[in-house]
């Protein structure tokens, strides 16, 4: 079978998503491949389908046990022979994987990169007839990335030792990381490379300056009550306090951070996968392993550490392609903290400079004056038109020429020998006679009192934007005092101007009203379908989306299939899932469901299914012969299924298939059905 047939029969989809097919063709054809695809763009299918088409076993290197187990379970639900070798396996699970490898029945073997350090693993994979290596989250090979996994460096050696093609996938890789991937996984030889674009048009982007941040998050969540969301927090303590506040406001909420016991973390992961409408307040420890497709919103209670981290974290929303929303809060303290993190790190100077650059890109996005999506995609090297779907497109920023106040602020910092923070500099500009100013004689500075056209709150916004534009940077050796950067010199010398925003300090918008996933008439049925899914997920101790994702349930609620043939036409309902769950969900939609023979069910939703029904009817008329007096005779269901799938049949072909005795009684009638199409 080809990839398109597996796509339909195993995964239940009639067509590839944009960009998937050419990647699948390259991987299936045995080319070394690097695919950079947006989160939610269907990466997994790009190695799962080739694994089914190709001979032998495909090894999938993936960084998180939870994600591997979910993918294996999802594949098995779809009828694919998959297994995982992880430290979380029971002995029985490990034995079953070894048996399947020995028997040659396994198609996909998932492994953590740490497994590659075990002795004899290369010889074992060679004996198991591994024909392809797939690497998920390939950016983990980058030694300077925040997701670096040392054992990813062994994958290149494994590729060389097995002499098989390698397909690497990631959602976040700037040019520098791409070079590292090519060097370390492909030995420096450029693979077939697919850059599928970074745009996630279904995600609404929004930033807001912190102004009562707890209430900003509570208001944002209140407008999306009943929807699954993640709130990313900068500290472990904040995950707990914010989760408590959300729970007190009536939201089902839990917290998650790296300081929790492993068992408690797993319990949160399980709840989040199985429950509808749960909010998790988490540190970035709640990361790559989250594959829940129906997360409707992601909020950042604190500024992320880089633009790549921001992109990856918001990318956990809306993986099902339906609308999702984001809100990122930030303030001057966030900027100072992130700068301090970089400066106090152990990285060499050139790496620290690169990290400041990544933070600058994020701050540029936070302080953007025009479409955020243009700014975000521009960082990743993509040109875009204004998106019409971010907070700045919803309501354009009110800007003013900030050149004069910025020069005043820079001059105040320089005349105070760059030894003071924003608070003291604002007092100088406003002419406030504080003890500190009196003691240091700063009331005699030429800049003392020159900034009275702006109030304290406006000056705070100006200084924050200057830090955001990297004109002033806190110096850790001077206890956080603000020092001018090279970017500021052209403005100070009158060689450049700068625009600032007037409206940056305001309460975060709660955003549009929650969009109904289905019409009001279909909402009760969707709720009933979700309840059935939740019950089946709890019975199987599996994530709910492994049964069916939200998009599939929405299509069921809207189209209301009446039988298994119509159910098979729903996107995401493959043959195995139709067999496992079709009847359960049909009963919710249509009540009583007629039984269908397994041989007929395999043809559900296909033209051959209708042909089977007509063959069955033709056979029923002739069971006792044309005159109704002969000995009863009928073909088996399996035989009828084979006949229904014949293309361009003739009498000889049909006779060979069903035998002369059956052909004599049914041949003419069957041929008439088949020729009628």
Q: What is the mean pLDDT of residues 544-556?
A: 88
Percent of the chain with pLDDT over 90: 42
* Residue 271 DSSP symbol: H
Q: What is the mean pLDDT of residues 419-440?
A: 93
CA distance 606 to 254: 45
Structure tokens that stand for 70 in this block: 């979910």
Residue 246 has pLDDT above 90, yes or no: yes
Question: Are 2 and 53 contacting, i.e. CB atoms less than 8 angstroms apart?
Answer: yes
State residue 551's pLDDT score. Answer: 86
Structure tokens that stand for 616 in this block: 């069955």
Q: Which residues contact 511 (CB under 8 A, 6 or more apart)?
A: 204, 206, 220, 223, 224, 325, 327
Q: Which residue's structure tokens are 């009196």?
A: 438
Dmax (CA) for the chain in angstroms is 121
Highest mean pLDDT (candidates 237-246, 392-401, 509-518): 237-246
Transcribe 99-121 into DSSP letters: HHHHHT---EEEE-GGGGGSTTH
Residue 508 has pLDDT above 50, yes or no: no
CA distance 530 to 276: 8
Q: Calculate the CA 420 to chain-centre distance.
A: 43
Indicate the angle between helix axes 637-644 and 651-658, nearest 10 degrees: 160
* Residue 89 DSSP symbol: -
Question: Are 111 and 60 contacting, i.e. CB atoms less than 8 angstroms apart?
Answer: yes
CA distance 276 to 529: 12
pLDDT digits (tens, 9 = 90+) for 175-211: 788 899 999 999 999 999 998 878 888 999 999 999 8
State residue 537's pLDDT score. Answer: 87
Give the confidence band of 380 by pLDDT, cuts at 50, 70, 90: confident
Give the helix/strand (H/E) hosting 325: strand 324-330
Q: What is the mean pLDDT of residues 263-267?
A: 88
Residue 613 has pLDDT above 90, yes or no: no
CA distance 170 to 196: 11
Highest mean pLDDT (candidates 1-5, 16-20, 23-27): 23-27
Q: Which residues contact 199 (CB under 8 A, 6 or more apart)?
A: 38, 373, 377, 382, 384
Q: Minimum mean pLDDT among 26-40, 63-77, 323-337, 478-492: which range?
A: 63-77
Mean pLDDT of the chain: 88
647, burial (CB in 10 Å: exposed 0-12, middle 13-18, buried 19+): exposed
Give the confidence band of 145 by pLDDT, cuts at 50, 70, 90: low
Tell how strand 108-111 and strand 166-170 pair up: unpaired
pLDDT digits (tens, 9 = 90+) for 440-488: 999 999 999 999 999 998 998 999 999 888 899 888 778 778 999 999 9
Residue 1 has pLDDT above 80, yes or no: no
Give the confidence band of 81 by pLDDT, cuts at 50, 70, 90: very high
More confident residue, 606 or 133: 133
Stated pTM of the model: 0.72
For residue 448, which phi and psi values (nearest 5 degrees)? -65, 120
Question: Are 673 and 636 contacting, i.e. CB atoms less than 8 angstroms apart?
Answer: no
CA distance 668 to 575: 31
State residue 234's pLDDT score. Answer: 92
Residue 401 has pLDDT above 60, yes or no: yes
Residue 511 has pLDDT above 60, yes or no: no
For residue 40, CA distances in Å to 335, 420, 533, 633 come to: 30, 46, 22, 53
Closest to 550 in 3D by CA, of 272, 320, 317, 298? 320
Residue 384 has pLDDT above 50, yes or no: yes
Residue 558 has pLDDT above 80, yes or no: yes
* Residue 205 DSSP symbol: B
| Residues pairing with 255 in the sheet | 281
Q: Which residues contact 512 (CB under 8 A, 6 or more apart)?
A: none
State residue 663's pLDDT score. Answer: 85
More confident residue, 542 or 244: 244
Q: What is the mean pLDDT of residues 207-235?
A: 93
State residue 106's pLDDT score. Answer: 94
Q: Which residues contact 483 (CB under 8 A, 6 or more apart)?
A: 413, 418, 472, 473, 474, 475
Q: Which residues contact 429 (CB under 8 A, 6 or more apart)?
A: 408, 409, 412, 447, 449, 450, 451, 452, 454, 459
Closest to 616 in 3D by CA, of 673, 675, 547, 533? 673
Give the helix/strand (H/E) hosting 545: helix 544-547
State residue 226's pLDDT score. Answer: 87
State residue 505's pLDDT score. Answer: 46
Question: Are 569 and 311 contacting, i.e. CB atoms less than 8 angstroms apart?
Answer: no
Q: Which residue's structure tokens are 């949160």?
A: 268
Residue 50 has pLDDT above 90, yes or no: yes
* DSSP strands (E only) in 139-256: 166-170, 192-195, 203-204, 207-209, 229-232, 253-256
């Amino acid at each position: 079978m080809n990839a398109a047939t597996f796509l339909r029969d195993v995964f239940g989809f009639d067509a590839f998503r944009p960009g998937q097919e050419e990647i699948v063709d390259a991987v299936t054809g045995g080319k070394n491949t690097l695919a950079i695809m947006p989160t939610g763009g269907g990466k997994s299918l790009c190695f799962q389908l080739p694994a089914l088409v190709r001979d032998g076993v495909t090894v999938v290197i993936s960084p998180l046990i939870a994600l591997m187990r979910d993918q294996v379970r999802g594949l098995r639900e779809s009828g694919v022979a998959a297994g995982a070798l992880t430290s979380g396996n029971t002995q029985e699970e490990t034995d079953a994987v070894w048996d399947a490898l020995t028997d040659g029945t396994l198609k996909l073997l998932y492994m953590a990169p740490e497994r590659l350090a075990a002795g004899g693993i290369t010889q074992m994979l060679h004996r198991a007839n591994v024909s392809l290596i797939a690497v998920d989250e390939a950016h983990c090979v980058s030694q300077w990335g925040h997701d670096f996994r040392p054992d990813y460096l062994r994958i290149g050696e494994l590729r060389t030792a097995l002499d098989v093609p390698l397909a690497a996938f990631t959602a976040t890789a700037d040019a520098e990381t791409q070079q590292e991937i090519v060097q370390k996984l492909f030995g420096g030889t450029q693979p077939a490379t697919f850059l599928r674009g970074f745009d996630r048009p279904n995600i609404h982007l929004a930033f807001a300056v912190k102004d009562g941040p707890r209430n900003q998050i509570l208001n944002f969540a209140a407008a999306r009550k009943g929807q699954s969301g993640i709130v990313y927090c900068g500290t472990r303590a904040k995950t707990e306090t914010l989760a408590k506040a959300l729970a007190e406001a009536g939201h089902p909420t839990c917290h998650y951070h790296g300081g929790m016991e492993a068992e408690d973390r797993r319990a949160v992961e399980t709840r989040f996968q199985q429950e509808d409408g749960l909010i998790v307040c988490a540190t970035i420890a709640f990361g790559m392993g989250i594959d829940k497709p129906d997360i409707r919103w992601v909020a950042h209670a604190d500024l992320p550490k880089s633009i790549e981290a921001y992109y990856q974290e918001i990318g956990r929303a809306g993986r099902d392609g339906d609308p999702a929303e984001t809100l990122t809060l930030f303030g001057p303290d966030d900027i100072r903290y992130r700068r301090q993190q970089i400066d106090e790190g152990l990285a060499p100077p050139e790496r620290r400079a690169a990290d400041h650059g990544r933070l600058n890109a994020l701050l540029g996005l936070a302080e953007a004056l025009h479409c955020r999506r243009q700014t975000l995609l521009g960082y990743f090297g993509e040109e875009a038109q204004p998106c019409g779907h971010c907070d700045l497109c919803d309501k354009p920023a009110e800007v003013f020429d900030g050149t004069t106040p910025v020069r005043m602020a820079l001059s105040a910092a320089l005349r105070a020998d760059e030894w003071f923070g924003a608070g003291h500099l604002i007092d100088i500009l406003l002419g406030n006679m504080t003890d500190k100013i009196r003691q240091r004689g700063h009331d005699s500075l030429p800049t003392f009192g020159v900034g009275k056209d702006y109030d304290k709150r406006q000056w705070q916004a100006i200084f924050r934007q200057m830090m955001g534009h990297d004109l002033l940077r806190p110096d850790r050796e001077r206890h956080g005092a603000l020092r001018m950067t090279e970017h500021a010199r052209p403005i100070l010398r009158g060689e450049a101007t700068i625009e600032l925003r007037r409206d940056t300090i305001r309460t975060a918008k709660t955003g549009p009203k929650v969009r109904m996933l289905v019409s009001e008439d279909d909402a009760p049925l969707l709720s009933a379908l979700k309840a059935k899914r939740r019950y089946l997920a709890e019975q199987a101790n599996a994530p709910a989306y492994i049964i069916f994702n939200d998009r599939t349930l929405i299509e069921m609620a809207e189209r209301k299939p009446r039988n298994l043939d119509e159910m098979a036409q729903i996107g995401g309902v493959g043959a195995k899932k139709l067999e496992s769950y079709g009847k359960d969900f049909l009963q919710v939609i249509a009540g009583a469901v007629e039984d269908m023979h397994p041989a007929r069910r395999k043809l559900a939703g296909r033209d051959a299914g209708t042909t089977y029904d007509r063959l069955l009817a033709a056979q029923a008329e002739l069971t006792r012969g044309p005159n109704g007096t002969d000995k009863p005779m009928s073909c088996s269901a399996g035989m009828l299924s084979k006949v229904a799938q014949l293309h361009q049949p003739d009498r000889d072909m049909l006779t060979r298939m069903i035998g002369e005795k059956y052909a004599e009684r049914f041949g003419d009638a069957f041929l008439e059905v088949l020729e009628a199409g």
